[in-house]
Amino acid sequence: MTSSSSKPRIILDCDPGHDDAVAIVIAAHTCELLGITTVAGNAPLDRTTHNARVLRHMLDLDVEVHSGAGRPMVVKPAFAGYVHGESGLDGADLPEPTRPLDGTDGIQFLIETVHSNPGCHLVVTGPMTNIALALRSDPSLGDLIAGISFMGGGTFGNRTAMSEFNFWADPHAAAVVVNSGLPLIMAGLDVTHQFQATAPRIEQVKAIDGQLAHVLSGLFDFFSANYSSRHDDMEGAAVHDPLAVLALSHRQLFESEERFVDVVIDGNHTRGMTVVDQRTLIDRPAANCTVLTKVDADAAWDVAAAAIAAGSVER
């Protein structure tokens, strides 16, 4: 486990989502979690917000949850029920959270929390709407945020042949963030597809006692069965979002390259497409992003399992 003195301070902006749920669990264990904001993405905003509250309840976290944007900046809303189910967390019986939502002012909460915690990081695991709106509302955030670690993008797509879902869902927001000038870490599909919930890894979670492990086992079973029914080249579901957390808390698990990254905002095939400049030209654009390329998936899963075990202890 990361020592308390070295834990990165983060605000987690998410759209739970099976893999977001795991990201929350890992963040609670390995980071100083300053708050959670939610956005529409894997499911509508009311569902992603409810799911974040469920995870807070199961982990007994003393952090605020604030809902943010319910639709993208420009394009029409679209969700990923075909992957996560209509609830966003299909596959397990979830407990009802007892603590109410702390507010519907997610963007203002982001701004105020950054001002109160200069030098913190943002971890973004859904569409980047909240972050883009916060940066536009308060440009001074650029001087206060240490960096943004995000799950999104890739040199190939999943929502379309060219576009990863988070970038596709709100390409205008993604473009604002990648062109913000802030230090960026990209956990795109190239690396997240290396981190899969295979049958042996799910069995590792099933061997853990406690409510959280039981719930996550059901979520993993649903998620991986859904992936297997849709893909002919994957042993289990790609558990994308935790890597954006682990890139800060366990940087040694990754290999990366410094690249220039941009986002295409329109086009039938190219909306949300990630441009990753891999040329070797001397006069290529300056790198603006640390692009994760490889992960030690077994070691990363061990961190996830340890976080699940810690969160499963009866309180």
What is the three-state SS of 125-190? CCCCHHHHHHHHHCHHHHHCCCEEEEECCCCCCCCCCCECHHHHHCHHHHHHHHCCCCCEEEECHH
| Mean pLDDT of the 143-161 span | 98
* Whether 185 contacts 148, CB under 8 Å: yes
The reported pLDDT for the residue numbered 5 is 57
**Cβ-proximal residues to 103 (8 Å cutoff; 6+ apart), any chain:** 64, 66, 67, 109
Closest CA to 147 of 248, 291, 241: 248
| Mean pLDDT of the 196-209 span | 97
Residues with catalytic annotation? Answer: 240
Q: What are phi and psi of 243, to 5 degrees?
A: -65, -30
Indicate the DSSP class of residue 251.
G
Residue tagged 């972050």 (tokens):
131
* Whether 179 contacts 153, CB under 8 Å: no
The reported pLDDT for the residue numbered 239 is 98
Q: What is the pLDDT of residues 159-194, one digit of tens each?
A: 999 999 999 999 999 999 999 999 999 999 999 999
Domains of the chain: 4-311 (3.90.245.10)
Q: What is the pLDDT of residues 217-262, one digit of tens each?
A: 999 999 998 888 888 888 899 999 999 999 999 999 999 999 999 9
Answering whether pTM is above 0.95, one says yes
CA atoms within 13 A on the CB side of 50: 14
The reported pLDDT for the residue numbered 1 is 47
Q: What is the mean pLDDT of the chain?
A: 96
Q: Kindly tell me if the per-residue pLDDT of 314 is higher than 70.
A: no
